[in-house]
Structure 1
Amino acid sequence: MATFNWMTALSGGILIGISATLLLLFNGRIAGISGMVNGAIRFDAAESWRWTFLVGLLIGGAIYEYMLAPQPTPTSTFTPWAMIVGGFLVGFGTRMGNGCTSGHGVCGLGRLSTRSLAAVLTFMGFAIATVLITHHILPGLL
């Protein structure tokens, strides 16, 4: 497992904040990725900015991964069907919660949205409970 580097995490957070701020400043749009993907799959010409932003995210990630800070590719022991089911559940949850962690956590909290604060507290609470159950309670029972 790679060691944690707080400078890398801080730099990534700053870049995410700058990109979300620039999108809001120049386009008047919020950088919630689930909403952006949902709008992009409609293939409306007026919504082409969504594709530009999403492709930019992929290119930026690739530049970082392969040129600036190459890391070993992580492996997973999950079966493909479990990841597919998990992906659909995440997609369902983002539609049900009117946004994902990036939309609520980065953009919503930055705009002082109480709805986003409630969503982020819910995300974090369930994440903490999930780690507690899967890493501390279940291994002791099995």
Structure 2
Amino acid sequence: MLERGKLDLILHPDDGLLPSHFSSQRLYSEDWICTVARQSKFGDRLTLKQYLNAEHLVITTILSVQNIPDKQLAGLGVKRRSSVRMLYFGAALSCLPGTELILTLTNGMREMVERNSTLRLVKRHKGCVHFIS
């Protein structure tokens, strides 16, 4: 619709899907964090090796398209293992307790994790991948 002149502006995540001939400007940058079940075997920090060897709960709205963390991992030549795919972060957070899954989510969701006594944040170890969007 933008190419046909039916739209003047779109707000779009920087996930590589926007054609390069469009002019764009970054409005903000968001860090990504990892959360696990409070009783998870993972310690307080994750190395890249631990992150890649773990099973992940992945949020995706388009099944055939990689999300931002997966694209950034692909740029490093590595891939994470996704056991479960869901559409919504909120629903995913409620599925973590009782599992050994890792959920990578935007820092904007940090407060939801911190208020949930069944979840905890896991810091990235120095040398672990740092996702930005």
TM-score (norm. length: structure 1): 0.28
More strand by share: 2
Higher RCO (CA-CA < 8 Å; seq separation 6+): 2
User: TM-score w.r.t. structure 2 length?
Assistant: 0.29
Higher radius of gyration, 1 or 2: 1
